[in-house]
């Protein structure tokens, strides 16, 4: 794996500007090469930090963007827990990415899942498979014709990291960390609410051309020390190791305090 590229900033505003610079650069390169820009986005603080500066930039070919969710909570799309809802409020409502190029979960399948989950685990997983299949089909519709590969290859995945080291909906010590075939997986027992989610798997993440983690605040100091400072770490975020792509970290000084970084 290439060594991670770590950027730190005194203020989140500066982080947002630098992140926007990277997105603009990768977007231009991807459009030149493949006439589109494929992006995976996460929830948490990321959409706001991403959009703060990016939404003010001129000349971005938003109509070339194809946007997926690295993970999604299985709640209606207008629910305040929905990552889509958050991204819409913070980002999509301020730019002109065509709606049909923002790939959401099929929320019409949620009532059946709720119903199945109230019965037993097997019925729940059967029903969840419909949501997974639907999201995989959406990925296939964008990626399969261009990259006839085992996994989709995103131009950019934007990830957050939880204080426990989770990323997407991949949590520490969870069996989903061993998934190495499927593109999208269901988790019905997320330790962070809401419990039911879908998530990209590690191989999908690790096949991306570029991955950018964004983490801010002193609450991330210890976990970043473990993820970035300990090459043996098995925390989910530490298992993000692009096969050939580049890995970026965008941190504020508060989050980066315990890291030993070369200047």
Ligand X SMILES: O=C(O)[C@H](O)[C@@H](O)[C@H](O)[C@H](O)COP(=O)(O)O
| Interacting residue ranges for ligand X, rule: CB under 6 A | 42-46, 71, 73, 83, 160-162, 166, 169, 192
Closer Cβ to ligand X, 40 or 64, answer by number: 40
CB of 71 to ligand X, least distance (A): 5
CB of 173 to ligand X, least distance (A): 16
Contacts of 249 (CB under 8 A, 6+ apart): 4, 5, 6, 7, 212, 213, 215, 228
Closer Cβ to ligand X, 60 or 168, answer by number: 168
User: CA–CA separation, 74 vs 132, rounded Å?
Assistant: 11
Closer Cβ to ligand X, 36 or 73, answer by number: 73
Query: Which two tokens mark 228?
Result: 């970035």
Q: Which residue is nearest to ligand X (CB)?
A: 44
CB of 165 to ligand X, least distance (A): 10
Question: With contact defined as beta carbons under 8 Å apart, do 199 and 187 qualify?
Answer: yes
CA 45 to chain CA mean position, Å = 12
Torsion angles phi and psi, residue 63, rounded to 5: -70, -5
Strand order across the 210-215 sheet: 5-9, 246-252, 210-215, 156-159, 37-41, 65-69
CB of 162 to ligand X, least distance (A): 3
CB of 92 to ligand X, least distance (A): 16
Closer Cβ to ligand X, 166 or 196, answer by number: 166
Closer Cβ to ligand X, 45 or 106, answer by number: 45
Query: Which two tokens mark 67?
Result: 């946007």
């Amino acid at each position: 794996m290439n060594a991670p590229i770590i950027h730190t900033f005194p203020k989140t505003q500066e982080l947002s500007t630098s992140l926007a610079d990277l997105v603009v650069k990768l977007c231009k390169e991807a459009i030149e090469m493949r006439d589109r820009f494929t992006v995976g986005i996460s929830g948490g603080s990321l959409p706001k930090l991403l959009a703060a500066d990016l939404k003010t930039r001129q000349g971005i070919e938003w109509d070339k963007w194809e946007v997926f969710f690295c993970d999604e909570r299985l709640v209606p799309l207008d629910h305040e827990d929905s990552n889509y809802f958050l991204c819409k409020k913070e980002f999509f409502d301020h730019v002109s990415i065509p709606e049909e190029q923002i790939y959401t979960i099929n929320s019409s399948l949620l009532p059946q899942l709720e119903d199945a989950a109230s019965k037993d685990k097997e019925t729940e997983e059967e029903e969840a498979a419909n949501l997974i299949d639907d999201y995989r089909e959406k990925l296939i519709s964008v990626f399969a014709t261009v990259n006839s590969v085992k996994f989709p290859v995103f131009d950019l995945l934007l990830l957050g990291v939880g204080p426990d080291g989770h990323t997407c909906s991949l949590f520490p010590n969870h069996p989903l960390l061993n998934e190495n075939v499927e593109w999208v997986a269901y988790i019905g027992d997320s330790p962070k609410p809401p419990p039911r989610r879908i998530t990209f798997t590690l191989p999908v993440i690790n096949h991306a051309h570029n991955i950018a983690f964004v983490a801010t605040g002193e609450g991330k100091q210890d976990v970043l020390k473990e993820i970035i400072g300990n090459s043996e770490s098995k925390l989910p975020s530490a298992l993000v190791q692009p096969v050939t792509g580049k890995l970026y970290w965008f941190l504020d000084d508060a989050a980066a305090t315990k890291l030993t970084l070369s200047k």
